[in-house]
Amino acid sequence: MTMLRIRRWIERLWEGAAGALFPRAANCLICGDPRRAEESDCLCPRCRAALRQKTVPPGACPRCLSPVKDGEPCRFCKSPMMKPIEKVYAPFRYAGEVRLLIHAFKFDACGEALPTLARAMADALTERDFDCLTPVPLHPRRLRQRGFNQALLLCRELTKLTGIPTEETLLRTIYHRPQSRTPILQRRANVEGAFAAKESAKGKRVLLLDDVRTTGSTARACARALRDQGAGSVSLCVCAVVYRKK
């Protein structure tokens, strides 16, 4: 038996043993390593440490969490995107292991990722003086396709952690292609007028929830609808913000 065949035989033997000892459901959601940080954790120690390296840096804009240069005003806050939004809360930058974890939750329907993401969001929520948590809604057609609204699941989990009630005060009234498949410069037009707020939003301090803030177009459209219905204030909480070069 050649050395190559011996090595392959050993690899197959190890894979079989690892599969028996550590079922896939017990492996790290990001890298597949069977060694978890804790029994109840969905990540291995390496990936857990990698998440801590992807947190929003202290030098970010305190209002919108965008990167800013020392001594210069935040360009994102000066843009129309932040006009209807009081403040943004998020634990992570959207990159690397954070991106993979959110994708596992959003596109692979992996419920194990939900507690980890929600706990990080709760920790980032330094102010909790809100009347309700409101998820960014999916159009009924999209909801049928996906089977669940990830923003609503995040809301319900965050309600357990913070005590702030979840209220679905928004409706998606127009079906458009997903923002993730829309060119950056077209995203604002893609969601313009796509949301309507319920009367129950009137006078309330609303914390809008979504998974990722990329350009801010979806959050802005939702916040405008809530403001038009008389919401007292609208802030935004997401798992991660996309960081672009200054």
Residue 131, domain CATH: 3.40.50.2020
Tell whether 32 and 133 lie within a shared domain: no
Mean pLDDT of the chain: 84
pLDDT of residue 123: 97
CA distance 158 to 123: 10
pLDDT of residue 143: 80
Tell whether 48 and 62 lie within a shared domain: no
Q: Return the minimum-mean-pLDDT range out of 8-22, 115-129, 167-181, 204-218.
A: 8-22
Q: Return the minimum-mean-pLDDT range out of 15-29, 99-113, 180-194.
A: 15-29
Comparing C-alpha atoms, which of 81, 93, 80, 88 is closest to residue 62?
A: 88
pLDDT of residue 40: 72
Angle at CA 138, nearest 5°, toward 134 and 139?
135
CA distance 22 to 6: 24
At residue 225 the predicted structure's pLDDT band, cuts being 50, 70 and 90, is very high
Tell whether 221 and 146 lie within a shared domain: yes
Tell whether 90 and 153 lie within a shared domain: yes
- Which residues in 77-93 are b (16+ Cβ under 10 Å) and which e? beeebbebbbbbbbbbb
234 lies in some domain: yes
* Digit-coded pLDDT (tens) for 154-205: 999 999 999 999 999 999 987 765 545 555 545 555 567 789 999 999 999 9
82 lies in some domain: yes
Is 90 exceeded by the pLDDT of residue 151? yes
pLDDT of residue 100: 94
* Digit-coded pLDDT (tens) for 73-88: 898 998 888 999 999 9
The whole-number average pLDDT for the span 120-146 is 92
pLDDT of residue 83: 92
pLDDT of residue 189: 59
Selected residue with higher pLDDT from 113 and 24: 113
pLDDT of residue 2: 58
CA distance 116 to 127: 20
140 lies in some domain: yes
CA distance 40 to 37: 8
Tell whether 163 and 80 lie within a shared domain: yes
Tell whether 137 and 22 lie within a shared domain: no
Tell whether 31 and 82 lie within a shared domain: no
Tokens of 178: 């997903």
Question: Which segments within 107-225 are labelled E, that is strand?
Answer: 132-135, 170-172, 195-197, 205-213
For residues 86 and 44, the answer to whether their CB atoms sit within 8 Å is: no
Tell whether 199 and 154 lie within a shared domain: yes
Its domain, for residue 48, covers 11-53
